Structure 1
Amino acid sequence: MWAGVSNAQEVCFVPLAGPNLDNSLIDGQILVKSQYSEIQQNTYAEFNGDVEINSSEVKIKAESAKLDRLSETLVANGSVNFQDKNITVSSDKVTLNRISNELLIEESNYQLNRVQGHGEAQEIAISEQTGINLIEASYSSCPIDDEVWRIQASQIEITPNQARGIVKHARFYIKDVPVLYLPYFSFPVNDERQSGLLYPDITNSSSAGISVEQPIYWNIAPNYDLTLSPRLMTNRGLQLKTEFRYLTEQHKGQLNLEYLPNDLAEDQDSERYFYRYVHNGSINENWRVNAEINGLSDDNYVNDLGSDYYSQSDTHLYKTLGLNYFSEGLDISAQFRDFEVLGDHPDSYRALPEIRLNYLNDLGAGFEFNINSELAYFESGDEDNPTATRFHIAPTLSYPFQNQWSELLAEVSVMHTHYFQENITDTNLEKEVTRTLGQAKLYGSLAFEREISWFGKTLTQTFEPKAQYLYTSYEEQTNIGLYDTTRLYNDFAGLFRGQEFTGLDRISDNNQITLGTTTRIIDDNNQEKFKLSIGQIFYLKDNQVLDATKEDSKSALAAELDWQMGSKWYAHTLAQVSSITDKVERSSISLEYQLSENKLLQINHRFVRDLSSEKIDQVGITATWPISKNWQWIGRWYYDRTLNRTVEAYNGVQYSSCCWTVSFVAERYLSNSYESTGVQSTNDFETGFHVYFTNRNLLRDGLFGYRRPYLLN
């Protein structure tokens, strides 16, 4: 029932370790130390002044003690401190019966050992058989001096070898205000996974209405568990969410099923569902298997009902099944890759299957021989689209060299691809296409460094120029369909990639030189404080592959900057500047001020001049700041300057203590819902209010989650 408490305990509470009972006593023996003693043989023994009583399982300290030899009863009085492996107790009187091995403690304060828990009790009875029994007692896992909540009960039982304690006739208090009565419930007494209720999730949104989700956790076995989460939504009805997890020595996986039998918000009876299965495993030392299968009932499921795995901006659900072989020099993978497309988006091709083989061999004298090969079959959900079988093999001979101050790579490749295409009527595609291309690459970089004085400190600055020449031969490719190929975005690292497309359906002809440089500033601890990279491609010949044609003899200028400005300011910037218009085509800027872990302010801006004929120009602010000792505020605001509107507003407060956490969040954001035609709306907004009882990272929630703005080491 107290899920979420353990995270706070790790920071706020150090459990008592229990007494040191390594005293060489055997069962039944008692060792008594005191300042004064009076012993009458076979009748009684009295001890006074700093009395210490030790056995093999118990340690007692008191002002005085009396041992009745006839009844085998020991009574300790005056500032009594009792300890065993389970509990530490302070009391005025402790009675121990050595025959029954039972202990009775009256009017006491107690604290559990090894786990969080303390309270007061009118009477505590302890025995080996029944464990700990507390009468008219209180219990809390909060710190003693900051008891936010407590349970007052007629009886609390903690039985040996049981993971949960039992509470009867319990009254639950927040501070000193009673808020709940339970005639019976159980609670964990260790950190083992246990069945029971987890914290509820309470939200209110314009789509679902008031939503209350109550997770029920079932610890089926040490390596299996199941969470059932009934969710009642005032606008949509009753939904059931399930999560089953398993773990074996070589495999692990998770199955999620969500089902809403009748959505009340729909005009007609409508059942809605979502499923997800993920598996990763090892068959043996070399073979691995993986799977990820997702599906849902309709395009608007995530927008209307939410998801822990997908966001409103996602357009595809993945379905993959793979088998992989790894060994020294040889990798083989077989993947079945499918997609479920959301909304009115072009159908993506699925690979059923895609088999890849990569082989690497050291030839000696610094040379390496590498073979990359692939066999794939492509089809789409539209029966009118072409299908294709593609075989590709690319042997490569390379000479890589690297030392502390330089790097050299010389590489030649032959790329041979064969297509067998069907269903190509009314297209310019050909049934069989063979394409063979040659490619040569020469890459080199140098690293220079010097000491500099920067802001009064002696640091190290590097200067790292790099250059690459790339040549790729040309063949006509318009007779080949586009099955897994899209244009790539060239940031600084992409300038040296040597390929302008994903996949293999288009391989651009190249005759180009890429020049770039990076400079870094490094402190005495070998940590980067500043990094600036800038580069550009110079085309020596126009591309003949139509999809790769350029408007200028050089690419956009790509730059990237990371800067740790002191101990609290950080900046990250990247940009692409057109060589034709000298205007910024793409850019992103992040500036962050972080005074401490819970005090930060981040400003972001992203800009794309043309993305599918649309302009992206958005600015955002993310901040978090403590309100008081236990209260934290988190806020986020993103504004679209092109459309002059807010796209996300997020405001939350979180209370955290050593024994409980609660968060309150209000937000408004673009819903991105799909219309009946499949077109995604850009004008509908969703508003919501959430209450979380778990230790949640509110900074990373929402449409635009927090990300650290720099990439320095």
Structure 2
Amino acid sequence: MTNQTRRSLHLALPALICSLATPAVYADEGVGHSIVAFRAAMAQLAVTSAQPAPGPTRITAQKIEGQQDVRVDASGAVVIERDGTRLDADQVHYDMLTDEAVATGNVLMRRGADTIRGPRLRFRVEEQVGEFDQPSYEIVRKRAPRYSAQALSAGIAKPADITVRGSGKAQSIGIEGENKYHLKNATFTTCESNDPAWYVNAKELDLDFDRNVGDATHGTFHFGGVPIMYAPVAPFPLNGERRSGLLAPTFGTSNITGFDLTIPYYFNLAPNYDDTFVPRYMGRRGLQLNNEFRYLMPGLNGVLRTEYLHDDAVYGESRAALSYQHDQIFGRGFSGRINYNAVSDKDYFADLSSRVTQTSQESLIREAAFSYNAGSWLSGSVLAQRIQSLTDTVQYNRLPAFNALAYVPEWNNFSLRMPLDATNFHKANADEGWRTYAYPQLAYNFVRPFGYVTPKIGVHSTRYQLDERFSAGPLNASRTLPVSSLDAGVFFERESTIDGHPVVQTLEPRLYYLNVPYRDQSTLPVFDTAPADYGFGQIFSENLYAGQDRIANANQLSAALTSRLINPATGAELVRAALGARVYFEDQRVTLPGELPRTDRSGDLLASFSGRVLPNTTLDMFGQYDPETAKFSRGTAGLRYQPAYAKVVSLSYRYQREQYRDVDVAFQWPVMSNLYAVGRVNGDVSTDTLTQALAGIEYNAGCWALRLAASSLLNTTGTYTNSYFMQLEFGGVVSVGNSPVSMLERSIVGYGRINQSVSDPVFGSQ
């Protein structure tokens, strides 16, 4: 469930008018950035700025008659200017005593970037009030483009604001001040055509850009000349600020839920907290009630989400989900967090999640932590954590876990690092108890521009105190191991050219020697340890395992050779190639239960390549070759051709011997003017298992866009979730239907949005 900046859409009409307001920040899907986007929405500025002091009224025309200080009759290219407002007309009668001007014939009023045209206007010049008869109008405002909160927090420059132009006609437009309009029997659209594909028709429409609020009555949304939505009363914000009301509904369908409809209602409770209530009707299962409550205060923020389905018609029982995240800064380096997630049953996400990524979720975390950070030299935390497993695999709970890290990065070329940890592991019918360890390490850092040498020594000391009720081994056990290593690398570079373009080529050899003596660890429990993936990162690490329950004996040398091509002007890496391997000087003796020890003297050979091999074409490859069997253990290869935005084809292959052979094909490609095809097929060809199939089309008509997509995804229950998406977007302002955009972005590397998309208003994206 992801948060997003919310705007009260009140069906279609208010969202369309809202597009003409000042910037509103749109957020991408992702749990971690929700408060950043929320804060950005709360910090929006008003549309208007302070106006200058009133100035004189200037009138120019081909012919001017009248009486001084009483009246003016002007004709022929008449222009009246005052305080940033300009009025053009064929004829103007201006009564100076009442300050009222009556303009007729090709009347054009410009107020900033706004323009209004009509046959007749009555207007009081100084007060900036009046009424247009039978006008057409165009209102222009700036709006921020879609901008992720991750980019915001990373300090990436925002793209330029988008200019949104709204236009229409009205029976009359009342001008009620410098920034106020009252429209009767008005239409509105962001389409530029005289025959717009869509428009809104409202009996009355009030726009107040001083207060940044608007009100519409009896608003009807028309698409293709057909009315498809109606709102009797629709108050709405004009600058992206939050306001209570209905959000745009979403609908879709899948084989799991049937017809799927949500009608969210947003409550703007206070500037620093809000609530969204989302009834969701699923044709096969029933009515689900969802709610999201968010709060933001100095030093703390959080979000509480709940879901409840009474008596699932397919499952036969009531089902529920709860998610609560809270982060707080106490000051002086202290902070805390709560992350609690729970569902009523293991199949909840596979059956009921509206987001594709959750259908394969295998576990949920419930934890509370209290942390301290004194800068780079000292940090620590206290953690209590439980895991709800959604599969048959049960993980250990940590109740509690204490950890600290003392780190001195630089002291006369030496660095000192000492992690400390004490964790109480709990798991039903398994070894339970405390594991504590300390690992003080001292390194000497000899670093020069041409290379580095880093010798390092440390002592890894671990102690177990187990619960006698479940332990089959000794209740008290300990392990102390000295660890020593030597890491060295050299940097060579030379200037060269490729196709006449200057490049810098590097050659970077690296050697890493590791020595860890053998200690018998067969009687020690295994709480959180598993084999680490063999790769370039792992061959330069101190342990074959991820976790602390096994420290593998080692007398080995790792070597790698990397070469890169770098653009000397920008520093960008163009191509990277690397070779790596490990040589063992003794057999492996420390293993996990059921694991066979390694007896080979040489490890698998590693090779990788990444970079642009042809114009607009990139290639990424990785291989792990076993010299003993003369076979590849695993490998990946990916080729992507992307000649332009929203134009990409990719092919990738993943292989692991005796496990899988995955093939992945994905694309987004224009098939004709403004019509794009999208698709992806991913599966294991060794077992003829389809993991995901996706197909769809996108059509961009300028002021509206259509997306149709269908997806079939293999979930954790071994069944397929088939989902169908249909979304209509109007002017990049409001969308109707169920958006497949987030799914397409995750599934197709290099996917480009064919128009400025609207954020999904309900709990993020699919």
Q: What TM-score results when the alignment is normalised by the length of structure 2?
A: 0.83
SS of corresponding position for 2:588: coil
The yes-or-no answer on 1:690 pairing with 2:725 is yes
Tell me the residue number matched to 1:204.
Answer: 253
Q: 1:466 is aligned with what amino acid?
A: R
Change in CA separation of 1:175 and 1:455 when aligned onto 2, cut-off 3 Å:
same
Tell me the residue number matched to 2:380.
Answer: 332
The yes-or-no answer on 1:91 pairing with 2:118 is yes
In structure 2, distance between residues paired with 1:336 and 1:626? 52
Residue 536 of structure 1 deviates from its aligned partner by 1.1
More displaced, 547-556 or 561-570? 547-556
Tell me the residue number matched to 2:630.
Answer: 582
Q: 1:578 is aligned with what amino acid?
A: D
SS of corresponding position for 1:114: strand
Tell me the residue number matched to 1:147.
Answer: 196
In structure 1, distance between residues paired with 2:687 and 2:561? 37
The yes-or-no answer on 1:25 pairing with 2:67 is no
Q: Is the 8 A contact 2:199 2:222 kept in 1?
A: yes
In structure 1, distance between residues paired with 2:348 and 2:466? 36
Q: 1:82 is aligned with what amino acid?
A: M
Residue 418 of structure 1 deviates from its aligned partner by 1.3
Tell me the residue number matched to 1:264.
Answer: 313
Residue 496 of structure 1 deviates from its aligned partner by 0.3
Which structure would you say has the larger Rg? 1
The yes-or-no answer on 1:133 pairing with 2:157 is no
SS of corresponding position for 1:511: strand
The yes-or-no answer on 1:481 pairing with 2:481 is no
Q: Render the CA deviation track for 1:575-618: whole Å, top value 9, x for unaligned.
A: 211232121111121111111120000111111224xxxx2111
The yes-or-no answer on 1:591 pairing with 2:639 is yes
The yes-or-no answer on 1:244 pairing with 2:273 is no
SS of corresponding position for 1:584: strand
Residue 152 of structure 1 deviates from its aligned partner by 2.2
Between the two structures, name the one with larger relative contact order (CA 8 Å, sep ≥ 6). Answer: 2
Query: Which residue, out of 405, 411, 422, partners 2:467?
Result: 422
Tell me the residue number matched to 2:546.
Answer: 502
Change in CA separation of 1:708 and 1:357 when aligned onto 2, cut-off 3 Å:
farther
Residue 658 of structure 1 deviates from its aligned partner by 5.5
Query: Which residue, out of 162, 166, 188, partners 2:215?
Result: 166
Which structure 2 residues correspond to residues 272-283 of structure 1 after superposition, within 5 A? 272-283=319-330
Q: 1:587 is aligned with what amino acid?
A: G
Tell me the residue number matched to 2:67.
Answer: 40
Change in CA separation of 1:517 and 1:175 when aligned onto 2, cut-off 3 Å:
same
SS of corresponding position for 1:489: coil
In structure 1, distance between residues paired with 2:484 and 2:50? 75
More displaced, 177-186 or 431-440? 177-186
Query: Which residue, out of 618, 631, 634, partners 2:662?
Result: 618
Residue 206 of structure 1 deviates from its aligned partner by 1.4
Q: CA RMSD in A?
A: 3.1
SS of corresponding position for 1:137: strand
Which structure 2 residues correspond to residues 281-296 of structure 1 after superposition, within 5 A? 281-296=328-343
Q: Is the 8 A contact 1:416 1:436 kept in 2?
A: yes
Which structure 2 residues correspond to residues 305-316 of structure 1 after superposition, within 5 A? 305-308=352-355, 310-316=357-363
More displaced, 132-141 or 595-604? 132-141
Tell me the residue number matched to 1:385.
Answer: 430
Count how many residue pairs are aligned between Structure 1 and Structure 2.
Answer: 683
Q: Is the 8 A contact 1:8 1:657 kept in 2?
A: no
Q: Is the 8 A contact 2:356 2:743 kept in 1?
A: no
Tell me the residue number matched to 1:14.
Answer: none
Residue 144 of structure 1 deviates from its aligned partner by 5.0
SS of corresponding position for 1:302: helix
In structure 2, distance between residues paired with 1:589 and 1:323? 43
More displaced, 210-219 or 77-86? 77-86
Change in CA separation of 1:75 and 1:368 when aligned onto 2, cut-off 3 Å:
same
In structure 2, distance between residues paired with 1:278 and 1:19? 37
Q: Render the CA deviation track for 1:12-41: whole Å, top value 9, x for unaligned.
A: xxxxx9999987535xx5333334322314
Tell me the residue number matched to 1:459.
Answer: 503
Tell me the residue number matched to 2:91.
Answer: 64
In structure 2, distance between residues paired with 1:42 and 1:514? 96
Q: Render the CA deviation track for 1:401-422: whole Å, top value 9, x for unaligned.
A: 3232212211000111111111
Change in CA separation of 1:467 and 1:99 when aligned onto 2, cut-off 3 Å:
closer
Q: Is the 8 A contact 1:30 1:53 kept in 2?
A: yes
Tell me the residue number matched to 1:529.
Answer: 574
Change in CA separation of 1:4 and 1:561 when aligned onto 2, cut-off 3 Å:
farther
More displaced, 568-577 or 542-551? 542-551
Change in CA separation of 1:181 and 1:483 when aligned onto 2, cut-off 3 Å:
closer
Q: Render the CA deviation track for 1:242-295: whole Å, top value 9, x for unaligned.
A: 2222222322222211110110012x4x01111112223322252222232111
In structure 1, distance between residues paired with 2:113 and 2:746? 47
Tell me the residue number matched to 1:360.
Answer: 407
Change in CA separation of 1:278 and 1:376 when aligned onto 2, cut-off 3 Å:
same
SS of corresponding position for 2:530: coil
Q: Is the 8 A contact 2:47 2:210 kept in 1?
A: no
Change in CA separation of 1:52 and 1:702 when aligned onto 2, cut-off 3 Å:
closer
Q: Is the 8 A contact 1:172 1:179 kept in 2?
A: yes
More displaced, 228-237 or 249-258? 249-258
In structure 2, distance between residues paired with 1:227 and 1:402? 55
5+ residue gaps, structure 2: 1-8, 24-45, 143-163, 730-734, 752-766
Change in CA separation of 1:230 and 1:466 when aligned onto 2, cut-off 3 Å:
same
In structure 1, distance between residues paired with 2:370 and 2:58? 66
Q: 1:75 is aligned with what amino acid?
A: V
In structure 2, distance between residues paired with 1:476 and 1:151? 77
Q: Is the 8 A contact 2:578 2:607 kept in 1?
A: yes
In structure 2, distance between residues paired with 1:196 and 1:568? 47
In structure 1, distance between residues paired with 2:254 and 2:739? 20
SS of corresponding position for 2:134: strand
In structure 1, distance between residues paired with 2:101 and 2:295? 51
Q: Is the 8 A contact 2:667 2:748 kept in 1?
A: no
